[in-house]
Amino acid sequence: MSNELAGKTISFLLKSGLKKAMLGHLSKESNFPELAYKTVVEELIANNYNENALSLSVAGRDTHSKFVTI
C-alpha cells in the first residue's frame, strides 16, 4: 500500500470514528518512517482533517512498537 493510499484510507476511516492508526508499511528500499508520516498527514490535511484529530504513529522496521490500547 502506498503512503498516499494509506492516507486516503485513514481519511475514510476517520468518518466512522477512527481514533488511532499505526503505519506499518515500511520497506528498507523505498519508504521510511518520516516520509510515510508526512505523506499521510498531508493527505489528512488535503481531506480537511486536522492532523491532531488522530493519534498517528509509525511502526518501527527493526524494533518492536509501543503497546496500543484498543
Structural domain contains residue 28: yes
Domain hosting residue 7, numbered range: 3-58
More confident residue, 62 or 14: 14
Q: Which tens digits make up the pLDDT trace of 14-58?
A: 989 999 999 886 777 778 888 899 999 999 999 888 777 788 988
Using CB atoms within 10 Å of the CB of residue 34, give its burial: 0 to 12 exposed, 13 to 18 middle, 19+ buried.
exposed
Domain-located, residue 70: no
Question: What's residue 29's pLDDT?
Answer: 77
pTM of the model: 0.80
pLDDT at 40: 92
Residue 50 in any domain: the answer is: yes
| Whole-angstrom distance, CA of residue 70 vs CA of residue 59 | 16
- What is the phi/psi pair of residue 16, to 5°? -100, 10
3-state helix, strand, coil in the chain (%, to 5): 40, 15, 45
Grade residue 70 by pLDDT with cuts at 50, 70 and 90. Answer: low
**Amino acid code (one letter) for 18:** L
Q: Domain tally for the chain?
A: 1
pLDDT at 7: 92
Backbone CA torsion sign across 47, 51, 53, 56: positive
